Structure 1
Amino acid sequence: MITWARIGFVFVVLFAVTLILWPFQLLGLALDLKIRRYIPRCWHRTACFLLGIRIHVHGTLERRRPLMLACNHASWKDILVLGAIADVVFIAKMEVSEWPVFGTLAKLQKSIFVAREQKRRTGDQVNEIAERMAAGEIVVLFPEGTTSDGNRLLEVKSSLFGAAAAAVQHTPEGVVHVQPVAIAYTRIHGMAMGRYHRPIAAWPGDIELVPHLLGVLKEGALDVDVAFGETIEFRAGDNRKHLSMAVTSRLRRMLIRHLRGRDYEAL
């Protein structure tokens, strides 16, 4: 009974916060005001607090721009976590825009939707990403292209770094900063989370969303480590495959380290 009461409380409060912030975000989007970048962080922080997601940050966010964050991807919660830490914009599959609730929230955050199977649109999509980065927005890329089980890093697709290559042409210094970011769900109710419990945090695509969401709400106490790695400078003429290999190496090393457990500081 208490569990369902808590779930109801979370939905009611989050719905109320959404209604309060909604008109301000719509105004920001309509007039392209900078406030549209800040409001989502407030919403994401509220959502993480209500869901019981405690964020522990290691390292620092790169200050130089343009900046692309290359992150491993275990769950839809990655978006809440990263959105609670920084004012970011996400690159998402076109299908996400059609999802109920999540699609609307993604549009409100002005996510960049890409249709990978439509080659004729690739140039326009890459240019949009490049222009947003050149304008100072922090773009988040999940280079695995899908969610994992949270225990490992999937193959990183070098083709997805095309936006970084395109953005180089829009920068006066001729460089794009690519920072690897590892997201590791490490504890549940304060206890170390092993492989058995990690599916509570991770969301591979073959698991239905609603039951998974209810499971997260019932647990209500997840710890996640977010590690910011050493930034890679990508310049005109650099090889995307080399960038992909460097990102893969640093992401895997950071992810393994934090999944095995280390001391951390709370956000």
Structure 2
Amino acid sequence: MTWIRIFFIITGLVLTTLVLLPFQLVGLAFDLKIRRYVPRIWHRIACWLMGIRIRVHGSVERRRPVMLSANHASWKDILVLGAVADVAYIAKIEVADWPVFGTLAKLQKTIFVVREQKRRTGEQVNEIAQRMTGGEIVVLFPEGTTSDGNRLLDVKSSLFGAATAAVPHTPDKIVYVQPVTIAYTGIYGMPMGRYHRPIAAWPGSIELLPHLMGIFRAEAIDVDVDFGEAIPFREGDNRKHLSAAVIASMKRMLRDRLYGVRKTTPDVEIAETGLEPAEEGTS
């Protein structure tokens, strides 16, 4: 059954890509807004094929420009956030050369940054600011790498430089930074503990192929996405204070979600109800 499932997933992804690719290429070629919407369709179908069931709590900040600051446990975070909102990612330049993932990142018009080359910082910040002021939702993974899914790794305030440096380029001299957490909470229809979470997460020590096989065998993975309260950052504000506030919110949301403190009924459950709000209550 595992090989049948793998064939079904790969075939579905290939067919979906072939259908949507022409629309995305046209959108990229002429910088049309459709390039922002097509990836969400692809990500939703990919999540459905792989059995990733998404529960959304809260919503994306409506004010613009906005940057999402999210924890990073796996490449699946890209699929999950991409299925929830029309987002653009900030990624290290090395991702552009990765097989498959690099191509998909380019098709989504990911913003690639070279952290070691300071002479290119201004150019990269200008692109981020331009994309944000153009109404795009930009996602930053401030950990800079993937974790085991059980905790938030150490974060340097310098990684928020993209948001702070973009402030002077925005019309109202303000950027909203919204904390977001992605928590993998269920597998095989059961609560996911620390032992199984590495199946969902992808720390650098695990090779990709065995990790993919674990995902294919899992059949159903539940993930909760929590959107915290956006923090306004104005010109002259302290970047370290912004970083501390965002990270504190992310740690609290992730801890509460993983340990079951927060409510278990989602505001939105994509897997079953699309984007229709669900009633509050207990599960």
Task: Name the TM tier (shorter chain).
Answer: over 0.9
Separation in structure 1 between the aligned mates of residue 213 and residue 21 of structure 2, nearest angstrom: 24
- Gaps (5+ residues) in structure 1? none
Q: Deviations over 1:90-149 (max 9, x none)?
A: 001111100111100000000001111122111211111111101110000000111111
Q: Deviations over 1:191-237 (max 9, x none)?
A: 11111000001100121112211210111200000000011000001
Q: 1:165 corresponds to which residue?
A: 164
For the aligned residue pairs, the C-alpha RMSD in angstroms reads: 0.8
Aligned to 2:183, the other structure's residue is in SS state strand
Given residue 37 of structure 1, which amino acid in structure 2 is its aligned partner?
Answer: R
Q: 2:176 corresponds to which residue?
A: 177
Give 1:185-204 correspondences, 5 Å limit: 185-204=184-203
Give 1:83-232 correspondences, 5 Å limit: 83-232=82-231
Give 1:28-107 correspondences, 5 Å limit: 28-107=27-106
Structure 1: 4+ residue segments shifted above 3 A:
none
Separation in structure 2 between the aligned mates of residue 251 and residue 177 of structure 1, nearest angstrom: 15
Given residue 49 of structure 1, which amino acid in structure 2 is its aligned partner?
Answer: W
Separation in structure 2 between the aligned mates of residue 121 and residue 213 of structure 1, nearest angstrom: 35
Separation in structure 1 between the aligned mates of residue 79 and residue 104 of structure 2, nearest angstrom: 11
Q: Deviations over 1:32-84 (max 9, x none)?
A: 00000000000000000000000001111110000000000000000000000
- Using the TM superposition, give the Cα deviation of residue 171 of structure 1 relative to its aligned residue in structure 2, in angstroms: 1.7
Separation in structure 2 between the aligned mates of residue 214 and residue 103 of structure 1, nearest angstrom: 20
CA contact (8 A) 1:57 1:264 kept: no
Separation in structure 2 between the aligned mates of residue 217 and residue 186 of structure 1, nearest angstrom: 17
Q: 2:273 corresponds to which residue?
A: none
CA contact (8 A) 2:129 2:170 kept: no
Q: 1:263 corresponds to which residue?
A: 264
Q: Deviations over 1:233-261 (max 9, x none)?
A: 00001111111100110000000011012
* Percent identical residues: 71
Separation in structure 2 between the aligned mates of residue 259 and residue 229 of structure 1, nearest angstrom: 15
Q: 2:24 corresponds to which residue?
A: 25
Q: TM-score under structure 1 normalisation?
A: 0.98
- Using the TM superposition, give the Cα deviation of residue 264 of structure 1 relative to its aligned residue in structure 2, in angstroms: 2.5
Q: 2:274 corresponds to which residue?
A: none
Separation in structure 1 between the aligned mates of residue 99 and residue 265 of structure 2, nearest angstrom: 35
Aligned to 2:142, the other structure's residue is in SS state coil
CA contact (8 A) 1:70 1:143 kept: yes
CA contact (8 A) 2:146 2:202 kept: yes
Q: TM-score under structure 2 normalisation?
A: 0.92
Aligned to 1:169, the other structure's residue is in SS state helix
Q: How many residues align?
A: 266
Larger displacement relative to structure 2 (9-18 or 255-264): 255-264
CA contact (8 A) 2:186 2:223 kept: yes
Aligned to 2:14, the other structure's residue is in SS state helix
